[in-house]
Chain A
Amino acid sequence: MVLLPAFGYLPVLGGDTFHLEAWQALWARAGLHRSILLSYFSGLITTLVALFIVVLFLAANQGTWLDRTIRRLVSPLLAIPHAAVAFGLAFLIAPSGLLARWLSPGVTGWERPPDLLIVNDPLGLALMAGLVLKEVPFLLLMSLAALAQLHPERRVTLARSLGYAPSIAWLKCVFPALYPLIRLPVYAVIAYATSVVDMALILGPTLPPTLSVSIITWFNDPDLSRRFMASAGAVLQLGVTLAALLTWWLGEQAVQRLSQRWLVNGSRLSGSAAIAFGGRALLSTVTLLAMSALAGLALFSVAGFWRFPDALPGTFTLDHWQRILPSVTTPLINTLSIGLSATLIAAFLVVATLEHAARHHLPARRVQWLLYLPLIVPQVAFLFGLVVAAESVGIRPQHALVVAAHLLFVVPYLYLSLSEAYRRLDPRWVQVALSLGAPPWRAFWQIRLPLLLAPLLTACAVSLAVSIGQYLPTLLLGGGRVPTITTEAVAMASGGNRRLIAVLALLQALLPFIGFSLALLIPRLVWAKRRQMRGAA
């Protein structure tokens, strides 16, 4: 449904022959090359920086009080919607933003905001910063879930007994084993960062915008014939994302080759102090920035008029909350019921598939790439086809259809969050159970599931957050009959009232926040007496 219109075929708009006009129109667009480069590089750089910060922190992590605190503060960040982080960050760093207000006029001497291009900068630095803020918590959580089964303490202890500094020991003995487990999440980050729309709209460059934003503009253009070009753009976007993934894969190969010598060169101490400091400092900065962005939002949700350069709003008011709260009950219930159904169904499907593969020792199949397609093709491009498909077979817009659409996005995230942990679980546990006469289902319920409790709950929390964040699938497949907190928030965001946006963003963050808290809390309660089993907590 994306491909056909890209080549001129969409009968309802009078396109009934195949041709390349859409592509010619696309290539002729002003600024297309810059758009492509922006999407490509912002995706790669974001992922690299986010991964770097996470790895450095994990290497530096000594399980001290400070480390645990930083780590606990990071997880809730995952719950904040992308758009909310973007709004918060934009308000933090803009020339008229929170930082400038706190420093002005005292330090800077500014009575009026300086005319500086910080947000929407042409190189996309603000956009990348925003993406890093969101992707660091994601990668950290994924790593922590995977680490649980690698027994990093044992590896580090062994290496330390050979005289390695703790952080070097972690990098040389744990990371090479960890990376394969978080590889798919890393790929998901690349795909997401190259095609992100909401953050790019708020923080990204505008002349021209990133490719994904251009595509949305064309799809939304009142001139319906632009949809042909938009479809061609969506195919191009897929190409850009794949190119970024390929580049990363080549980079992986190169790093693997080049690091061989370093891994075994016996150097035990060099750089460990820098790593220990850098890891903590970087992650703290990320956390601090994100928290300040959130604080800015919270402040705005109760702000009256707030003139630059005042450090605080002139007046405070609960108006904004009072106006929004009465109308959010139904959306909240919808959001929760759809999110839970989608997550439960997805968990059932994914666990059944993985269990089947594990029992029959099936290798990972190439087909699984199909599963990830919804994550890398721009939503707006293929959702139209999905609506046509549902309508063609006579399925009316309803709750169940929205759940089905969410599954398209929830299943891949759940799969990629869980599959490696599942596959790499030491098979001897189950073998022991079977050899003791337990039937396979019992080995599954009593051995495998409890052992995988932490990663499974984390994956579910991620899925819930993914479902809650869906806007276009909910709106288009629900035919507007299924309002969720996110459809409300996005519609309100189009009006740009920062105070009301802040209220809705905080509400939108609430449900995933509860999800992530439960994912961390439940293993702690269930395994209160078994410290090794708590995993990510």
Chain B
Amino acid sequence: MPNNRNSLRATVAMAVLALALPAAATPHTSDWQSIMAEAKGQTVYWNAWAGEERINTYISWVAQQVDARYGVELVHVKLGDTSEAVSRVLAEKQAGNDERGSVDMIWINGENFAAMKANGLLFGPWADAMPHYPLTDPDNTPAVRYDWTIPVDGLESPWSSSQVVFYYDTALVENHPNNMAELLEWATLNPGEFTYPQVPNFLGNAFITQAMLELSDSTKLFYEPMQAEDFDTATAALWEFLDELHPHLWRSGRAFPSNSADLRSLMGDSEISIALSFSATEASGAIANHELPDTVRSYVHDSGMIGNMSFMAIPYNAQHKAGAMVVANYLMSPEAQAEKQDPKVWGSGTILAMDMLSPEERALFDDIDLGIATLPPSELGELLGQPHPSWVDAIAEAWQTRYVN
């Protein structure tokens, strides 16, 4: 075993070195071949949030594919929260288990990635050396290289892109708002019919972050680490907005739904008539699931909506790193990405750059039927990047102090 591990490390190092040379943008096939050879017969434990049945179904489809193609057995470890996998890795490191870790791959992004990276819990760099990685056009796509402004540095491979969208019930709302100011106006006229998940839930954070970006004249500041002296002036508009908005929210802002699923249930129960989601296809999927009425449609704000990518990371002590890389690479393939984008399967945005694909590969995406409540990519508007985590953390903290009594 030790030999295998060393050889793997060497292989990846070589692959990454190869990438550093401009002449060889992809790893030498023989390196990738040896990774594939080592992966064959491995069992990869993929720790992934499992709250959505469609995602679980997609993951079991992936498991069949990688088994048939590469002889890798993929096991979905179903999590209620990504931090449970982080806990496991942390405990293993504390106990000195540096080589036979039980988590092989984690679906991760943002703050969890930042924390694992900062605490040395990740393996790599490896992601840039994956054969499918160039299809994401990393040179022209900063979102692939920066996860919430934190440099990815090859420690995770992109999997899915998502953007916040609002959805509303056309049976109850005539004209949807187009920006935060109009949302406030609408909420004042329709008290109790809008709310957002409680901060620090990630969708709740996304809503107040979106508000902060929209209400500020210049957003450049937010993409660098926060300086304490800037906080009050930079966020004054946000608090003024929220202070005005809260009395008109569902339950007058005295309670908040705990997550996006709760929010969706409120929508399904007609308690509220506008909600938001981190998935452009959530509304279509929920209509198909009988959770929402078929009168629901999506919309975005004029100035664009906040969005981000989620990734695959391999813990530093994962026992089946080769297998994990083979799976991560397959997840970036046009075939797996197109399957994932189909709303009948899951409907999550692709991370591939369309102009990097062959016409046949592009056709896979063009043929997808997006569903009635999904905005086509052309109508999603500008994608606003996630600010630096220090800002999100600071406004989430301030939210707690301000609205929890």
Residue of A nearest to B95 (CB): A391
Chain A positions within 8 Å of B200 at CB level: 217, 221
Q: Is the CB of A492 within 8 A of B261?
A: no
B219 at the interface (CB under 8 A from A): no
Chain A positions within 8 Å of B86 at CB level: 222, 224
Chain B positions within 8 Å of A323 at CB level: 53, 57
Residues 249-306 of B contacting A (Cβ, < 8 Å): 250-252, 254-256, 258-262, 264-266, 268-271, 289-294
Q: Is the CB of B270 within 8 A of A307?
A: yes
B45 at the interface (CB under 8 A from A): yes
Chain A positions within 8 Å of B259 at CB level: 494, 496
B218 at the interface (CB under 8 A from A): no
Q: Is the CB of B78 within 8 A of A481?
A: no
Q: Is the CB of B404 within 8 A of A222?
A: no
Q: Is the CB of B91 within 8 A of A387?
A: yes
Min C-beta distance of A296 to chain B, whole Å: 13
Residue of B nearest to A96 (CB): B269
Q: Is the CB of A495 within 8 A of B261?
A: yes
Determine the main DSSP class of A at the interface with B: loop
CA A96 to CA B193, docked complex, whole Å: 13
Chain B positions within 8 Å of A327 at CB level: 56, 60
Q: Is the CB of A319 within 8 A of B53?
A: no
Bitwise, B16-57 to A at CB < 8 A (1) or not (0) is 000000000000000000000000000001010111110011
Q: Is the CB of B404 within 8 A of A495?
A: no
Bitwise, A486-499 to B at CB < 8 A (1) or not (0) is 01101111111111
Min C-beta distance of B398 to chain A, whole Å: 10
**A315-B290, A387-B88 known; A222 vs B51 contact (CB < 8 Å):** no
A94 at the interface (CB under 8 A from B): yes
Q: Which of B45, B250, B255, B271 contacts A480 (CB 8 A)?
A: B45
Q: Is the CB of B405 within 8 A of A224?
A: no
Chain B positions within 8 Å of A304 at CB level: 290
The count of chain B contact residues (Cβ–Cβ below 8 Å) is 73
A13 at the interface (CB under 8 A from B): yes
B83 at the interface (CB under 8 A from A): yes
B378 at the interface (CB under 8 A from A): no
CA A487 to CA B250, docked complex, whole Å: 32
**A220-B81, A487-B78 known; A495 vs B115 contact (CB < 8 Å):** no
B114 at the interface (CB under 8 A from A): yes
CA A121 to CA B252, docked complex, whole Å: 12
Chain B positions within 8 Å of A389 at CB level: 95
Residue of B nearest to A111 (CB): B270
B90 at the interface (CB under 8 A from A): yes
Q: Is the CB of A392 within 8 A of B90?
A: no
Q: Which of A13, A95, A481 contacts B102 (CB 8 A)?
A: A481
CA A499 to CA B92, docked complex, whole Å: 37
Q: Is the CB of B269 within 8 A of A113?
A: yes
Residue of B nearest to A490 (CB): B80
Chain A positions within 8 Å of B264 at CB level: 496
CA A201 to CA B256, docked complex, whole Å: 12
**A307-B293, A491-B79 known; A207 vs B51 contact (CB < 8 Å):** no
Q: Is the CB of B255 within 8 A of A207?
A: yes
Residues 200-241 of A contacting B (Cβ, < 8 Å): 201, 205-208, 217, 219-224
B61 at the interface (CB under 8 A from A): no
Chain A positions within 8 Å of B80 at CB level: 471, 490-491, 493-494
Min C-beta distance of B283 to chain A, whole Å: 13
CA A308 to CA B270, docked complex, whole Å: 6
CA A303 to CA B256, docked complex, whole Å: 26
CA A238 to CA B193, docked complex, whole Å: 40
CA A54 to CA B111, docked complex, whole Å: 48
Q: Which of A30, A120, A475, A496 contacts B265 (CB 8 A)?
A: A496
CA A208 to CA B81, docked complex, whole Å: 21
CA A224 to CA B120, docked complex, whole Å: 12
Chain B positions within 8 Å of A396 at CB level: 100, 102
CA A120 to CA B111, docked complex, whole Å: 28
**A384-B91, A391-B91, A480-B45 known; A495 vs B265 contact (CB < 8 Å):** no
Q: Is the CB of A480 within 8 A of B102?
A: yes
Chain A positions within 8 Å of B100 at CB level: 396
Chain A positions within 8 Å of B57 at CB level: 323
A363 at the interface (CB under 8 A from B): no
Chain A positions within 8 Å of B85 at CB level: 480
CA A142 to CA B271, docked complex, whole Å: 41
Residues 109-139 of B contacting A (Cβ, < 8 Å): 110-112, 114-115, 119
**A31-B405, A208-B404, A480-B47 known; A319 vs B290 contact (CB < 8 Å):** yes
Chain B positions within 8 Å of A487 at CB level: 78
Residues 85-109 of B contacting A (Cβ, < 8 Å): 85-88, 90-97, 100, 102-103
CA A261 to CA B91, docked complex, whole Å: 57
A12 at the interface (CB under 8 A from B): yes
Residues 47-91 of A contacting B (Cβ, < 8 Å): none
Q: Is the CB of B271 within 8 A of A96?
A: yes
Most B-side CB within 10 Å, residue of A14, A205, A498: A498
Q: Is the CB of A481 within 8 A of B290?
A: no
Chain B positions within 8 Å of A493 at CB level: 51, 80
Min C-beta distance of B362 to chain A, whole Å: 32
Q: Is the CB of A494 within 8 A of B251?
A: no
B77 at the interface (CB under 8 A from A): yes
B140 at the interface (CB under 8 A from A): no
Min C-beta distance of A507 to chain B, whole Å: 14
10 closest residue pairs by CB, A with B: A496-B261, A495-B51, A480-B77, A222-B111, A391-B95, A479-B102, A96-B269, A115-B192, A494-B51, A387-B91
What 13 new A-B contacts, CB under 8 Å, besides A315-B290, A392-B96?
Answer: A12-B94, A14-B119, A31-B400, A31-B405, A94-B269, A115-B271, A206-B258, A220-B83, A476-B88, A479-B45, A493-B51, A496-B265, A497-B52
> Can you list 27 residue pairs at the A/B interface with Cβ under 8 Å?
A12-B90, A13-B90, A30-B404, A94-B269, A96-B266, A117-B255, A120-B255, A122-B255, A219-B87, A220-B83, A221-B200, A223-B115, A304-B290, A305-B268, A306-B268, A307-B270, A307-B293, A308-B271, A327-B60, A390-B95, A391-B94, A392-B95, A476-B87, A492-B53, A495-B53, A497-B52, A498-B265
